[in-house]
Chain A
Amino acid sequence: MNNIVILKLGIIFFIIISFFWLFVFGPFYDSIVTQLVVFIVVMGWNVQRFSLTEAITLLKFCLPFVLSLFIFGLIFHFMQLFGRTDWLEDTLIKCLVFPSSLVFLKILLTYITYLDILSLPISMEKRIGLITMKSAFQKGEKILRRFSWYLNTYSDLQSGNRIKSGLQKYACLIIALYLYLYEEIENSNRLLKNKYHHLYEVNK
Protein backbone atom coordinates (compact mmCIF):
# COMPACT_ATOMS: atom_id res chain seq x y z
CA MET A 1 0.00 0.00 0.00
CA ASN A 2 2.78 2.38 1.02
CA ASN A 3 4.67 1.70 -2.18
CA ILE A 4 1.62 2.32 -4.36
CA VAL A 5 0.98 5.63 -2.62
CA ILE A 6 4.61 6.66 -2.96
CA LEU A 7 4.51 5.72 -6.65
CA LYS A 8 1.27 7.69 -7.13
CA LEU A 9 2.67 10.78 -5.40
CA GLY A 10 5.91 10.38 -7.31
CA ILE A 11 4.02 10.38 -10.62
CA ILE A 12 1.98 13.42 -9.60
CA PHE A 13 5.08 15.39 -8.65
CA PHE A 14 6.89 14.21 -11.78
CA ILE A 15 4.00 15.50 -13.93
CA ILE A 16 3.99 18.83 -12.07
CA ILE A 17 7.75 19.28 -12.44
CA SER A 18 7.57 18.27 -16.12
CA PHE A 19 4.77 20.78 -16.75
CA PHE A 20 6.74 23.60 -15.18
CA TRP A 21 9.94 22.55 -16.93
CA LEU A 22 8.24 22.39 -20.34
CA PHE A 23 5.82 25.29 -20.27
CA VAL A 24 6.85 27.71 -17.52
CA PHE A 25 10.65 27.74 -17.51
CA GLY A 26 11.58 25.57 -20.45
CA PRO A 27 11.47 25.12 -24.22
CA PHE A 28 7.79 25.90 -24.89
CA TYR A 29 7.61 29.04 -22.77
CA ASP A 30 8.16 31.37 -25.73
CA SER A 31 5.53 29.82 -27.98
CA ILE A 32 2.33 31.81 -27.63
CA VAL A 33 0.35 29.23 -29.63
CA THR A 34 1.48 26.40 -27.34
CA GLN A 35 0.64 28.49 -24.27
CA LEU A 36 -2.83 29.20 -25.67
CA VAL A 37 -3.41 25.49 -26.31
CA VAL A 38 -2.14 24.61 -22.81
CA PHE A 39 -4.45 27.24 -21.31
CA ILE A 40 -7.49 25.86 -23.17
CA VAL A 41 -6.67 22.25 -22.29
CA VAL A 42 -6.06 23.03 -18.61
CA MET A 43 -9.25 25.07 -18.33
CA GLY A 44 -11.22 22.31 -20.06
CA TRP A 45 -9.74 19.77 -17.66
CA ASN A 46 -10.73 22.01 -14.75
CA VAL A 47 -14.32 22.28 -16.01
CA GLN A 48 -14.49 18.51 -16.48
CA ARG A 49 -13.00 17.74 -13.04
CA PHE A 50 -14.94 20.39 -11.11
CA SER A 51 -17.52 22.64 -12.79
CA LEU A 52 -17.87 25.56 -15.13
CA THR A 53 -18.88 27.87 -12.25
CA GLU A 54 -15.77 26.87 -10.34
CA ALA A 55 -13.58 27.54 -13.38
CA ILE A 56 -15.15 30.97 -13.87
CA THR A 57 -14.62 31.84 -10.19
CA LEU A 58 -10.98 30.87 -10.45
CA LEU A 59 -10.52 32.92 -13.61
CA LYS A 60 -12.19 35.89 -11.94
CA PHE A 61 -9.75 35.49 -9.07
CA CYS A 62 -6.81 35.59 -11.49
CA LEU A 63 -8.23 38.42 -13.58
CA PRO A 64 -6.92 41.42 -11.60
CA PHE A 65 -3.37 39.94 -11.61
CA VAL A 66 -3.58 39.19 -15.31
CA LEU A 67 -5.14 42.55 -16.13
CA SER A 68 -2.54 44.56 -14.23
CA LEU A 69 0.20 42.48 -15.86
CA PHE A 70 -1.31 43.19 -19.25
CA ILE A 71 -1.64 46.94 -18.62
CA PHE A 72 1.98 47.24 -17.52
CA GLY A 73 3.09 45.15 -20.51
CA LEU A 74 1.15 47.44 -22.81
CA ILE A 75 2.69 50.57 -21.28
CA PHE A 76 6.21 49.09 -21.52
CA HIS A 77 5.51 48.08 -25.12
CA PHE A 78 4.54 51.60 -26.18
CA MET A 79 7.45 53.07 -24.22
CA GLN A 80 9.74 50.48 -25.79
CA LEU A 81 11.34 50.12 -22.37
CA PHE A 82 15.05 49.05 -22.47
CA GLY A 83 14.76 49.16 -26.26
CA ARG A 84 12.73 45.97 -26.29
CA THR A 85 9.94 45.59 -28.85
CA ASP A 86 8.61 42.25 -27.61
CA TRP A 87 6.92 43.46 -24.43
CA LEU A 88 3.43 42.78 -25.71
CA GLU A 89 4.15 39.23 -26.80
CA ASP A 90 6.01 38.48 -23.58
CA THR A 91 3.14 39.91 -21.53
CA LEU A 92 0.54 37.87 -23.40
CA ILE A 93 2.56 34.72 -22.71
CA LYS A 94 2.74 35.57 -19.00
CA CYS A 95 -1.01 36.29 -18.98
CA LEU A 96 -1.60 32.73 -20.20
CA VAL A 97 1.14 31.01 -18.20
CA PHE A 98 0.02 32.38 -14.84
CA PRO A 99 -3.57 31.02 -14.82
CA SER A 100 -2.67 27.75 -16.59
CA SER A 101 0.09 26.86 -14.15
CA LEU A 102 -2.05 27.80 -11.15
CA VAL A 103 -5.02 25.73 -12.36
CA PHE A 104 -2.78 22.83 -13.42
CA LEU A 105 -1.16 22.70 -9.99
CA LYS A 106 -4.54 22.86 -8.32
CA ILE A 107 -5.99 20.02 -10.40
CA LEU A 108 -3.00 17.74 -9.88
CA LEU A 109 -2.94 18.31 -6.12
CA THR A 110 -6.60 17.30 -5.84
CA TYR A 111 -5.58 13.79 -6.92
CA ILE A 112 -3.78 13.41 -3.58
CA THR A 113 -6.35 12.05 -1.15
CA TYR A 114 -6.47 12.04 2.63
CA LEU A 115 -5.93 8.26 2.56
CA ASP A 116 -2.76 8.80 0.52
CA ILE A 117 -1.45 11.17 3.18
CA LEU A 118 -2.31 8.71 5.93
CA SER A 119 -0.40 5.95 4.12
CA LEU A 120 2.79 7.97 3.83
CA PRO A 121 5.74 6.64 5.84
CA ILE A 122 6.17 9.84 7.84
CA SER A 123 5.48 10.80 11.45
CA MET A 124 1.89 11.40 12.56
CA GLU A 125 2.77 15.01 13.35
CA LYS A 126 3.73 15.60 9.70
CA ARG A 127 0.65 13.75 8.43
CA ILE A 128 -1.55 16.00 10.57
CA GLY A 129 0.23 19.01 9.09
CA LEU A 130 -0.39 17.83 5.52
CA ILE A 131 -4.03 16.89 6.22
CA THR A 132 -4.62 20.31 7.78
CA MET A 133 -3.13 22.08 4.75
CA LYS A 134 -5.19 20.05 2.30
CA SER A 135 -8.41 20.55 4.23
CA ALA A 136 -7.85 24.29 4.69
CA PHE A 137 -7.06 24.94 1.03
CA GLN A 138 -10.02 22.87 -0.10
CA LYS A 139 -12.31 24.88 2.12
CA GLY A 140 -10.63 28.11 1.09
CA GLU A 141 -11.37 27.42 -2.53
CA LYS A 142 -15.07 26.89 -1.83
CA ILE A 143 -15.30 29.92 0.38
CA LEU A 144 -13.95 32.33 -2.26
CA ARG A 145 -17.30 32.45 -4.05
CA ARG A 146 -19.13 33.22 -0.80
CA PHE A 147 -16.65 35.94 0.15
CA SER A 148 -17.07 37.46 -3.26
CA TRP A 149 -20.84 37.36 -2.89
CA TYR A 150 -20.71 39.16 0.45
CA LEU A 151 -18.30 41.77 -0.86
CA ASN A 152 -20.75 42.50 -3.68
CA THR A 153 -23.38 43.43 -1.10
CA TYR A 154 -21.25 46.13 0.55
CA SER A 155 -22.21 49.53 -0.76
CA ASP A 156 -18.79 50.96 0.18
CA LEU A 157 -17.30 48.73 -2.51
CA GLN A 158 -19.85 49.60 -5.19
CA SER A 159 -19.77 53.37 -5.16
CA GLY A 160 -17.45 55.72 -7.00
CA ASN A 161 -14.78 54.79 -9.47
CA ARG A 162 -15.29 51.27 -10.86
CA ILE A 163 -11.59 50.45 -11.10
CA LYS A 164 -10.93 51.70 -7.58
CA SER A 165 -13.84 49.78 -6.08
CA GLY A 166 -12.85 46.69 -8.07
CA LEU A 167 -9.34 46.82 -6.67
CA GLN A 168 -10.64 47.44 -3.15
CA LYS A 169 -12.93 44.44 -3.49
CA TYR A 170 -10.04 42.35 -4.66
CA ALA A 171 -7.87 43.48 -1.75
CA CYS A 172 -10.69 42.56 0.65
CA LEU A 173 -11.03 39.16 -0.98
CA ILE A 174 -7.34 38.40 -0.51
CA ILE A 175 -7.28 39.65 3.09
CA ALA A 176 -10.45 37.71 3.97
CA LEU A 177 -9.05 34.56 2.39
CA TYR A 178 -5.76 34.96 4.21
CA LEU A 179 -7.52 35.49 7.55
CA TYR A 180 -9.78 32.54 6.89
CA LEU A 181 -6.93 30.19 5.96
CA TYR A 182 -4.84 31.33 8.90
CA GLU A 183 -7.62 30.69 11.39
CA GLU A 184 -8.83 27.56 9.66
CA ILE A 185 -5.36 25.97 9.61
CA GLU A 186 -4.83 26.77 13.26
CA ASN A 187 -8.22 25.44 14.34
CA SER A 188 -8.14 22.28 12.22
CA ASN A 189 -4.60 21.50 13.33
CA ARG A 190 -5.53 21.89 16.98
CA LEU A 191 -8.63 19.76 16.51
CA LEU A 192 -6.81 16.96 14.67
CA LYS A 193 -3.96 16.86 17.19
CA ASN A 194 -6.45 16.80 20.02
CA LYS A 195 -8.40 13.93 18.46
CA TYR A 196 -5.25 11.99 17.68
CA HIS A 197 -3.78 12.38 21.17
CA HIS A 198 -7.10 11.48 22.75
CA LEU A 199 -7.47 8.31 20.66
CA TYR A 200 -3.80 7.40 21.12
CA GLU A 201 -4.05 7.76 24.88
CA VAL A 202 -7.35 5.84 25.02
CA ASN A 203 -5.85 2.97 23.01
CA LYS A 204 -2.76 2.94 25.20
Chain B
Amino acid sequence: MEIRKGKYRLENRNLNFDIVDDLNFNNSGGCFYFRGGNGFGKTSFLEKIIIPALKTDNLSYLYIGQDIRTQLYTLRALLSIQGFKVSDTDEVELLRLWIDHSQSASVLILDEFDKYFPDYGFIFDWSDAFIRTYIIVTHREMNCREAVANHHRICNARFELINIDGRLKNIRVRNE
Protein backbone atom coordinates (compact mmCIF):
# COMPACT_ATOMS: atom_id res chain seq x y z
CA MET B 1 0.00 0.00 0.00
CA GLU B 2 1.24 3.44 -0.85
CA ILE B 3 0.03 6.88 0.12
CA ARG B 4 1.13 9.34 -2.53
CA LYS B 5 2.74 12.59 -1.53
CA GLY B 6 0.49 15.61 -1.70
CA LYS B 7 -1.92 17.64 0.35
CA TYR B 8 -4.75 15.95 2.26
CA ARG B 9 -7.39 18.05 3.94
CA LEU B 10 -9.59 16.83 6.80
CA GLU B 11 -12.35 19.44 6.84
CA ASN B 12 -14.12 18.41 10.04
CA ARG B 13 -10.89 18.13 12.02
CA ASN B 14 -9.50 21.36 10.62
CA LEU B 15 -6.29 19.64 9.61
CA ASN B 16 -4.16 19.89 6.50
CA PHE B 17 -1.66 17.13 5.93
CA ASP B 18 1.15 17.91 3.57
CA ILE B 19 2.75 14.57 2.78
CA VAL B 20 6.21 15.45 1.58
CA ASP B 21 7.35 11.95 0.64
CA ASP B 22 5.37 9.02 -0.70
CA LEU B 23 4.57 6.77 2.22
CA ASN B 24 5.28 3.31 1.01
CA PHE B 25 4.02 0.58 3.29
CA ASN B 26 5.51 -2.29 1.38
CA ASN B 27 4.20 -5.75 1.93
CA SER B 28 7.57 -7.43 2.33
CA GLY B 29 7.49 -6.93 6.08
CA GLY B 30 8.22 -3.84 8.06
CA CYS B 31 7.53 -1.71 11.05
CA PHE B 32 6.55 1.88 10.38
CA TYR B 33 6.64 4.38 13.19
CA PHE B 34 4.78 7.65 13.37
CA ARG B 35 5.67 10.29 15.86
CA GLY B 36 4.63 13.87 16.45
CA GLY B 37 3.48 16.19 19.21
CA ASN B 38 0.14 16.01 20.97
CA GLY B 39 -2.70 17.32 18.81
CA PHE B 40 -0.73 17.07 15.56
CA GLY B 41 -3.26 14.65 14.15
CA LYS B 42 -1.53 11.28 14.43
CA THR B 43 -4.76 9.45 15.22
CA SER B 44 -6.64 11.41 12.56
CA PHE B 45 -3.91 10.50 10.10
CA LEU B 46 -4.32 6.82 10.94
CA GLU B 47 -8.10 6.84 10.95
CA LYS B 48 -8.79 9.19 8.06
CA ILE B 49 -5.93 8.51 5.67
CA ILE B 50 -4.18 5.22 6.38
CA ILE B 51 -7.21 3.06 7.25
CA PRO B 52 -9.30 4.26 4.26
CA ALA B 53 -6.27 3.53 2.03
CA LEU B 54 -6.05 0.01 3.45
CA LYS B 55 -9.76 -0.45 2.80
CA THR B 56 -9.38 0.80 -0.77
CA ASP B 57 -6.55 -1.67 -1.34
CA ASN B 58 -8.69 -4.42 0.21
CA LEU B 59 -5.98 -5.20 2.72
CA SER B 60 -7.13 -6.96 5.86
CA TYR B 61 -5.90 -5.15 8.96
CA LEU B 62 -6.19 -5.01 12.73
CA TYR B 63 -6.40 -1.66 14.45
CA ILE B 64 -5.93 -1.11 18.15
CA GLY B 65 -7.01 2.42 18.90
CA GLN B 66 -5.77 4.85 21.48
CA ASP B 67 -9.06 4.58 23.39
CA ILE B 68 -8.47 0.89 23.91
CA ARG B 69 -10.82 0.74 26.91
CA THR B 70 -13.70 1.74 24.60
CA GLN B 71 -12.59 -0.67 21.90
CA LEU B 72 -12.47 -3.57 24.35
CA TYR B 73 -16.26 -3.41 24.73
CA THR B 74 -16.63 -4.02 20.99
CA LEU B 75 -14.04 -6.82 21.07
CA ARG B 76 -15.86 -8.49 23.95
CA ALA B 77 -19.10 -8.24 21.96
CA LEU B 78 -17.47 -9.49 18.73
CA LEU B 79 -15.84 -12.48 20.40
CA SER B 80 -18.99 -13.38 22.30
CA ILE B 81 -21.08 -13.53 19.12
CA GLN B 82 -18.35 -15.73 17.65
CA GLY B 83 -18.92 -18.21 20.47
CA PHE B 84 -16.07 -17.41 22.84
CA LYS B 85 -16.71 -17.26 26.57
CA VAL B 86 -15.33 -13.86 27.47
CA SER B 87 -17.21 -12.92 30.62
CA ASP B 88 -14.22 -13.43 32.92
CA THR B 89 -11.51 -12.69 30.39
CA ASP B 90 -9.08 -9.89 31.14
CA GLU B 91 -8.08 -7.31 28.53
CA VAL B 92 -4.78 -8.94 27.52
CA GLU B 93 -6.48 -12.28 27.00
CA LEU B 94 -9.22 -10.58 24.98
CA LEU B 95 -6.64 -9.02 22.69
CA ARG B 96 -4.83 -12.34 22.36
CA LEU B 97 -8.03 -14.15 21.43
CA TRP B 98 -8.92 -11.50 18.85
CA ILE B 99 -5.47 -11.41 17.26
CA ASP B 100 -5.25 -15.18 17.30
CA HIS B 101 -8.52 -15.44 15.38
CA SER B 102 -7.71 -12.72 12.88
CA GLN B 103 -4.98 -14.46 10.98
CA SER B 104 -6.23 -13.23 7.64
CA ALA B 105 -4.92 -9.77 8.55
CA SER B 106 -1.57 -8.67 7.18
CA VAL B 107 -1.35 -5.21 8.75
CA LEU B 108 -1.44 -4.36 12.45
CA ILE B 109 -1.90 -0.75 13.53
CA LEU B 110 -1.18 0.30 17.10
CA ASP B 111 -2.06 3.81 18.22
CA GLU B 112 -0.06 4.67 21.34
CA PHE B 113 -0.48 1.15 22.59
CA ASP B 114 2.60 1.64 24.79
CA LYS B 115 0.59 4.09 26.88
CA TYR B 116 -1.27 1.10 28.33
CA PHE B 117 1.33 -1.60 27.86
CA PRO B 118 4.86 -0.11 28.03
CA ASP B 119 6.39 -3.47 27.19
CA TYR B 120 4.26 -4.52 24.25
CA GLY B 121 6.55 -7.13 22.80
CA PHE B 122 3.82 -9.71 23.40
CA ILE B 123 1.84 -8.23 20.49
CA PHE B 124 4.66 -9.17 18.11
CA ASP B 125 4.90 -12.64 19.65
CA TRP B 126 1.21 -13.23 18.95
CA SER B 127 1.18 -11.81 15.45
CA ASP B 128 4.65 -12.39 13.93
CA ALA B 129 3.43 -15.43 12.05
CA PHE B 130 0.91 -13.61 9.86
CA ILE B 131 1.34 -9.83 10.20
CA ARG B 132 3.69 -8.45 7.58
CA THR B 133 3.34 -4.73 8.27
CA TYR B 134 3.19 -2.98 11.60
CA ILE B 135 2.15 0.67 11.76
CA ILE B 136 2.86 2.13 15.17
CA VAL B 137 2.16 5.54 16.67
CA THR B 138 4.26 6.15 19.74
CA HIS B 139 5.75 8.87 21.91
CA ARG B 140 8.52 6.67 23.14
CA GLU B 141 12.19 7.32 22.55
CA MET B 142 13.82 5.85 19.49
CA ASN B 143 16.02 3.38 21.36
CA CYS B 144 12.99 1.81 23.09
CA ARG B 145 11.14 1.52 19.79
CA GLU B 146 14.14 0.06 18.04
CA ALA B 147 14.64 -2.39 20.87
CA VAL B 148 11.11 -3.71 20.41
CA ALA B 149 11.42 -3.90 16.63
CA ASN B 150 14.95 -5.32 16.58
CA HIS B 151 13.96 -7.97 19.04
CA HIS B 152 11.51 -9.14 16.44
CA ARG B 153 13.88 -8.62 13.50
CA ILE B 154 11.69 -5.99 11.89
CA CYS B 155 13.21 -3.18 9.87
CA ASN B 156 12.26 0.39 10.71
CA ALA B 157 10.92 3.29 8.75
CA ARG B 158 9.91 6.42 10.55
CA PHE B 159 7.62 9.26 9.70
CA GLU B 160 7.25 12.47 11.57
CA LEU B 161 4.26 14.78 11.78
CA ILE B 162 5.41 18.38 12.13
CA ASN B 163 3.34 21.44 12.89
CA ILE B 164 4.55 23.89 10.25
CA ASP B 165 2.71 27.10 10.96
CA GLY B 166 2.24 27.10 14.71
CA ARG B 167 -1.55 26.81 14.63
CA LEU B 168 -1.82 23.03 14.68
CA LYS B 169 -3.47 23.19 11.32
CA ASN B 170 -0.90 22.41 8.68
CA ILE B 171 0.90 19.22 9.45
CA ARG B 172 3.81 18.02 7.38
CA VAL B 173 4.39 14.29 7.16
CA ARG B 174 7.90 13.40 6.14
CA ASN B 175 10.44 10.64 6.38
CA GLU B 176 12.46 11.04 9.54
A: residues with CB less than 8 A from B are 143, 146-147, 149-151, 153-157, 168, 171-177, 179-180
In B62-118, which residues have CB < 8 Å from any A CB? Answer: 63, 65, 67, 70-71, 73-74, 76-78, 80-82, 101-102, 104-105
CB of B127, distance to nearest CB on chain A (Å): 14
Chain B 9-50 interface mask (CB, 8 Å, partner A; 1/0): 000000000000000000000000000000000000001000
Given B63, B67, B73, which contacts A153 in the complex, CB threshold below 8 Å? B63
Tell me if B78 and A156 are in contact (CB < 8 A): yes
* B61 adjacent to chain A (CB < 8 Å): yes
Tell me if A155 and B70 are in contact (CB < 8 A): no
B: residues with CB less than 8 A from A are 47, 51, 60-61, 63, 65, 67, 70-71, 73-74, 76-78, 80-82, 101-102, 104-105
Bound CA–CA A171/B76 (angstroms): 12
Q: How many residue-residue contacts, CB under 8 A, span A and B?
A: 52
Considering only CB atoms, which chain A residue lies closest to B101 in the complex? A156
Interface of A is mostly: helix
Tell me if A172 and B70 are in contact (CB < 8 A): no
**Chain B neighbourhood of A177, CB < 8 A:** 73
Tell me if B82 and A175 are in contact (CB < 8 A): no
Give 13 new A-B contacts, CB below 8 A, not counting A146-B67, A156-B78.
A146-B70, A150-B65, A150-B70, A153-B51, A153-B63, A155-B102, A155-B104, A155-B105, A156-B101, A157-B78, A172-B77, A173-B77, A176-B74
CB of A167, distance to nearest CB on chain B (Å): 10
Tell me if B77 and A179 are in contact (CB < 8 A): yes
**Chain B neighbourhood of A176, CB < 8 A:** 73-74, 76-77
**Chain B neighbourhood of A153, CB < 8 A:** 51, 61, 63
